[in-house]
């Protein structure tokens, strides 16, 4: 897949050993875990190919991301569909186990370094790794010992460059004395500027901190209105302008916010926590979204195409009429609706059969049982519940009793304050 020449992402040197990468990288972690649910493998591959097609050539993964090296396996399969010589691949080792309650288990012994490298080469199905990071520093092992083994791997051609993640200034100096360090990976954004002054980070998504950080976001939004861009674009622009030696690796969340919708749904133009959802169900928008999704997914047709939210300002018959045309043209196979009322479902189904209705349905969100479920069964429409585990609430007592400070759940009203205390009784 050739890079899109209409979008010019600059290329820069990372470090001073000649390692050239795209100025904007892609963090692949979110495809297999993190702030959102893992994506299907074919979708993840399409996303990586999409990023490459828009000039991104620097991809970041780790043996920690996803169960059983899922992220490395996914990235490896995507690489098979891209020119390997034009891709800069970074992966990591060092974290044996991560647990929100027990903490991180780290290993930096020479034996572990080598075994991890061999395993990653196999999972990625490549002959070499461009940039190999120590994910976390093992303070029980002299950094000189860890670096010594990494240096051997460079000499053997199994890795090209060495990086460190979350390392102290003293560790960086000592490591660099053994072999040149090409890159240091640290969290750095508009609200994580610790690395500029060596200040410890704060739990940003909980309690008083979260309330204060929301004010930062509101101020950011005012700037986005002035510059006519999204908050994600402004935040990325800020970090991109910190110097040519700074290469950010935003993940799937950034792709989704930059180019919505990213998958097989349409209708939501903009989502904002303060002003709500901007929806468009006009025939023109339906068609333009479908064409854009086909291009991004790099497929000839979409199996099931949902209207993400109903535009009440547009008769559902008009929206469905355009969707029906797309079925007749072979661009979509089946039509679905999300968060639709019983009346809307009946009217839509009269224009063209509806295949699926997507609604939230769990032990604490049972509204659809009153009318939606009986109607779907009457009309022969499939039901696709999302958040069947109550957005994670019913996963287990560990979730109910203690939500990690950096969890997405902390931003959901039913997981906070008085609501959370009452909902725990339900569990």
Domain positions in the chain are 11-188+246-256, 202-241, 260-388
pLDDT(57) > 70: yes
Higher pLDDT: 221 or 127? It is: 127
Would you say the CATH fold of 260-388 matches that of 11-188+246-256?
A: yes
Give the number of C-alpha atoms closer than 13 A to the C-alpha of residue 49, restricted to the C-beta side.
20
Q: What is the pLDDT of residue 65?
A: 86
Greatest Cα-to-Cα distance within the chain, rounded to the nearest angstrom: 73
Higher pLDDT: 143 or 384? It is: 143
SS3 of residue 352 by DSSP: coil
Residue 13 forms beta bridges with which residues? Answer: 20
Q: What is the pLDDT of residue 270?
A: 47
Kindly report the backbone phi and psi dihedral angles of residue 55, in degrees, each rounded to the nearest multiple of 5, phi listed first: 100, 0
Q: What is the pLDDT of residue 262?
A: 32
CATH fold for domain 260-388: TIM Barrel (3.20.20)
Q: How far apart are CA 410 and CA 79, in angstroms?
A: 35
CA 366 centroid distance within chain: 29
Integer CA distances (angstroms), 41 to 48, 67, 97, 317, in order: 11, 13, 23, 35
Q: Which of 106-110, 177-181, 316-320, 409-413 has the lowest mean pLDDT?
A: 409-413
- How does DSSP assign 304-349, residue by residue? EEEESS--TTS-HHHHHHHHHHHHHTTSEEEEEEES--HHHHHHHH
Percent of the chain with pLDDT over 70: 65
* Assigned superfamily of 11-188+246-256: NADP-dependent oxidoreductase domain (3.20.20.100)
pTM: 0.54
pLDDT(66) > 50: yes
Q: What is the pLDDT of residue 38?
A: 77
Is 65 part of the annotated catalytic residue set? yes
Most confident of 15-24, 48-57, 184-193: 48-57
Q: What is the pLDDT of residue 204?
A: 43
Tens of pLDDT, residue by residue over 350-362, are: 999 998 888 877 7
- Mean of pLDDT values over 3-9: 53
The model's confidence at residue 54, banded by pLDDT at 50, 70 and 90, is confident
Average pLDDT, the chain: 78
């Amino acid at each position: 897949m050739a890079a899109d020449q209409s979008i010019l992402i600059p290329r820069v040197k990372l470090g001073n050993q000649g390692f050239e990468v795209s100025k904007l990288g892609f963090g692949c972690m979110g495809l297999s875990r993190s702030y959102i649910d893992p994506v299907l493998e074919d979708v993840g591959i399409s996303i990586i190919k999409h990023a490459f097609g828009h000039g991104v050539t620097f991809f970041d993964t780790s043996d920690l991301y996803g169960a059983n090296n899922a992220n490395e396996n996914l990235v490896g399969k995507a690489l098979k569909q891209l020119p390997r010589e034009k891709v800069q691949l970074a992966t990591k080792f060092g974290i044996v186990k991560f647990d929100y309650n027990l903490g991180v288990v780290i290993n930096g012994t020479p034996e572990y370094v080598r075994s991890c490298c061999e395993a990653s080469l196999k999972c990625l199905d490549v002959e070499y790794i461009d940039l190999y990071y120590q994910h976390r520093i093992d303070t029980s092992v002299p950094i000189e010992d860890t670096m010594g083994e990494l240096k051997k791997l460079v000499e053997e051609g199994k890795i090209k460059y060495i990086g460190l993640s979350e390392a102290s200034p003293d560790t960086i100096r000592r490591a660099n004395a053994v072999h040149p360090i090409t890159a240091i990976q640290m969290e750095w954004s508009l609200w994580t500027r610790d690395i500029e002054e060596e200040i410890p980070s704060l739990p940003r998504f909980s309690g008083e901190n979260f309330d204060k950080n929301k004010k930062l976001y509101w101020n950011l939004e005012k700037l986005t209105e002035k510059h006519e861009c999204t908050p994600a674009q402004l935040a990325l622009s800020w970090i991109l302008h910190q110097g040519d030696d700074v290469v950010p690796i935003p993940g799937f969340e950034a792709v989704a916010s930059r180019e919505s919708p990213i998958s097989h749904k349409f209708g939501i133009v903009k989502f904002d926590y303060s002003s709500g959802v901007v929806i468009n169900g006009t025939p023109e928008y339906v068609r333009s979204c479908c064409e854009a999704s086909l291009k991004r997914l790099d497929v000839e047709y979409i199996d099931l195409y949902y209207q993400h939210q109903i535009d009440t300002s547009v008769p559902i018959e008009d929206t469905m009429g355009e969707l029906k045309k797309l079925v007749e043209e072979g661009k979509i196979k089946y039509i679905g609706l999300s968060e639709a009322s019983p009346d809307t479902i009946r009217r839509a189904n009269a224009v063209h059969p509806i295949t699926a209705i997507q609604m939230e349905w769990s032990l604490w969100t049972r509204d659809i049982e009153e009318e939606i479920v009986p109607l779907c069964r009457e009309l022969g429409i499939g039901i696709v519940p999302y958040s069947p585990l109550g957005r994670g609430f019913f996963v287990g007592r560990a979730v109910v009793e203690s939500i990690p400070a950096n969890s997405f759940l902390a931003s959901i009203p039913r997981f906070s304050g008085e609501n959370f205390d009452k909902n725990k009784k339900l569990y």
